[in-house]
A and B are shown apart, each in its own frame.
Chain A
Amino acid sequence: MRDKIVYVLGAAAILLLARDINVIAGLPQEANQGAIFKIIFFHVPMAITAMLCSFVALVGSVLFLITRNFKYDALAVSVTEVGLALLLGNLVTGSIWARVIWGIWWTWDARLTSALVCWLLYAGYLMLRRAIEEPTQRATFAAVFSIFAFIDVPIVIFSIKWWRTQHPQPVFWGGGSIPADWYALAGWNLLAMVLFGVVLTAVRFSQEESQREIDSLRRMAHAF
Chain B
Amino acid sequence: MNFARNVLVIAVKDLRAEIRTKEAINASFAFALVILLLFSFAFDPEAETTREISGGLLWIVFAFAGTLVLNRSFARELPNDCLDALIAAPISGAALYLGKALANYVLVLAMELVSLPVFAIFNNVTRPVSQQIWPILLVIALGTWGLTVIGTIFSALTVNIRLREVMLPMLTYPILVPALMGAMLMTSSLVMGKPLAGDNLTWLKMLVGFDLIYTAASLALVEIVLVG
Of chain B, the residue at the smallest CB distance from A124 is B171
* A contact residues, total (Cβ < 8 Å): 28
B162 contacts chain A at the CB level, 8 A cutoff? yes
Complex formed: what's the CA distance from A145 to B153 in Å? Answer: 10
Interface of chain B, main secondary structure: helix
Q: How far is the CA of A115 from the CA of B175 in the complex (A)?
A: 13
Verify B224–A151 contact, CB threshold 8 A.
no
Q: Is A128 a contact of B171 with CB atoms below 8 Å?
A: yes
Most A CB atoms within 10 A — which of B150, B182, B203, B221?
A: B221
The secondary structure that dominates the A interface is: helix
Q: Which chain B positions have C-beta within 8 A of A136?
A: 228
Contact B210 A162, beta carbon cutoff 8 Å:
no
Q: Determine if A159 and B171 form an interchain contact, defined as CB atoms under 8 angstroms apart.
A: no
* Complex contact B214–A131 (CB within 8 A): no
The answer to whether B177 and A131 touch across the interface, beta carbons within 8 angstroms, is no
Q: Is the CB of A162 within 8 A of B217?
A: no
**Is the C-beta of B213 less than 8 angstroms from some C-beta in chain A?**
yes
A156 to B214, CA, bound (A): 13
Beta-carbon contacts of A37-70 to B below 8 Å, as 1s and 0s? 0000000000000000000000000000100000
Contact, CB under 8 Å: A155 / B178: yes
- Taking a contact as CB atoms under 8 Å apart, the answer to whether B228 and A137 are in contact is yes
The reply to whether A120 and B174 contact each other, CB–CB distance below 8 Å, is yes
Contact with B along A149-160 (1 / 0, CB 8 A): 101100110111
A117 at the interface (CB under 8 A from B): yes
Flag if A117 contacts B157 (CB, 8 Å): no
Q: Are B225 and A141 in contact, with the CB atoms below 8 A?
A: yes
Contact B167 A149 (CB under 8 A): no
Residue contact A124 to B174, C-beta cutoff 8 Å: yes
The listed residue (B162, B185, B214, B225) touching A144 by CB distance below 8 A is B225
Residue of A nearest to B171 (CB): A124
Residues 132-150 of chain A: 1 if any B CB is under 8 Å from the residue's CB, otherwise 0? 1100110011001101110
Q: Are A131 and B175 in contact (CB under 8 A)?
A: no
Chain A, Cβ-Cβ closest to B185:
A163
Instruction: Map CB proximity to A onto B189-211 as digits: 1 under 8 Å, 0 otherwise.
Output: 00000000001001100100110
Q: What is the distance, in angstroms, from A102's C-beta to the closest C-beta of chain B?
A: 23
Whether A155 pairs with B181 at a CB distance below 8 angstroms is no
| Beta-carbon nearest neighbor of B220 in chain A | A147
Q: Which residue of B lies closest to A138 (CB)?
A: B161
Instruction: Give chain A nearest CB distance to B223 CB in angstroms.
Output: 10
**In contact, A148 and B217 (Cβ under 8 angstroms):** yes
Which of A65, A128, A131 lies at the interface centre, i.e. has the most chain B CB atoms within 10 A of its CB? A131
Please indicate the chain A residues that have their CB under 8 angstroms from the CB of B225 in the complex.
Answer: 140-141, 144
CB-based contact B181/A144 at 8 Å: no
Decide yes or no whether A127 CB sits under 8 A from chain B: yes
CB-CB under 8 A from B175, the residues of chain A are 121, 148-149, 152
Q: A148-B175, A152-B175, A159-B178 are in contact. Are A137 and B167 (CB under 8 A)?
A: no
A-binding residues in B (CB < 8 A)? 150, 153, 157-158, 160-163, 167, 170-171, 174-175, 177-178, 181-182, 185, 199, 202-203, 206, 209-210, 213-214, 217, 221, 224-225, 228
6 contacts between A and B (CB under 8 A): A131-B162, A140-B228, A147-B217, A148-B217, A149-B175, A160-B177
> Chain A: residues with CB nearer than 8 A to chain B?
65, 117, 120-121, 124, 127-128, 131-133, 136-137, 140-141, 144-145, 147-149, 151-152, 155-156, 158-160, 162-163
Other A-B pairs beyond A144-B157, A156-B178, 17, CB < 8 Å: A117-B174, A117-B177, A124-B170, A128-B157, A132-B161, A137-B228, A140-B224, A148-B153, A148-B214, A149-B175, A151-B214, A151-B217, A155-B178, A160-B181, A162-B199, A162-B202, A162-B206
